[in-house]
Amino acid sequence: MLEYIASTGTPSGSFLEIDNIPDTYNSLMITGVMSVTGTTVADCYMFFNGDTASVYNTMYGGLRDSNSNSVYNFSNNEAHFGRGPTDSMNVGYVYAPVYLEIFAYRGDQPGNLGWYSLSSYVDQSSSSQNQFYSGWYSGNDAADLTRIQFITSQGSWDADTELHLYGRTTS
């Protein structure tokens, strides 16, 4: 089954969080919408289990701004999954839909945890984007993922930002 687990609560500043994720699923899926305050498009990333060390490896590819071949690989202390449009875009208040998959999230599953996401929004200007993101966590692969923090690099999460976590069962 695909079971609803939890949603992020009311945004407070640049952090959102889902905690106490059960270790009973095969994989996780997150959907929702996101937007940030201010005038600068944000890089949006996660911390797993509160780990802020340089143990995250991210790549993205696709259309970003006016570059149709925007690709990048990087390793740092942020698990990037997309970009957050602002409430002051060319057409005003713009949301980005969120589709994010997290796999091998249990410590007893083979391999390091990975994620895959789609990042897109359109604001009728050259700053629209449509990209794929992927990454993997090189921290403790024997630990279950129990907590995800969602962070915006610019401004704060807009009040209507919400992310919903689902789990796929194997029974």
Partner 1 sequence: MAATYDHIATATASGNPMFLEVTSIPATYKDLEVIIMSKTGTSNGASSGKITFNGVTSSDYSWAMLGKNGTSMRTSIYNSQPDFDINYSHGPGPGTGSAMSGWVRLYVPDYASTTAHPVNWWCTSWDSTTAGELAYSAGLFEPSSAQAVTSMKWTCAYSIQNGCTMSVYGIKYV
Which residues of this protein are in contact with partner 1, per CB under 8 A? 1-2, 4, 26-27, 57, 59-62, 68-69, 71, 73, 75, 101, 103-104, 108-114, 116, 132-134, 136, 138, 141, 166, 168-171
Task: Read off the DSSP letter of residue 24.
Answer: -
60 neighbors 71 (Cβ within 8 angstroms): yes
Min dist CB 93 to partner 1, Å, is 27
Closest distance to partner 1 from the beta carbon of 125 (Å): 22
Listing from the earlier edge strand, what are the strands of the sheet with 67-76? Answer: 2-7, 162-168, 27-34, 96-103, 114-121, 129-137, 56-64, 67-76
Question: Which tokens in the block code for residue 18?
Answer: 């889902």
Least gap, CB of 44 to partner 1 (angstroms):
17
Sequence letter at residue 30: I
Q: How far is the CB of 146 from partner 1 (least distance, A)?
A: 18
- Two tokens, residue 42: 């944000």
Distance CA 97, CA 119 (A): 7
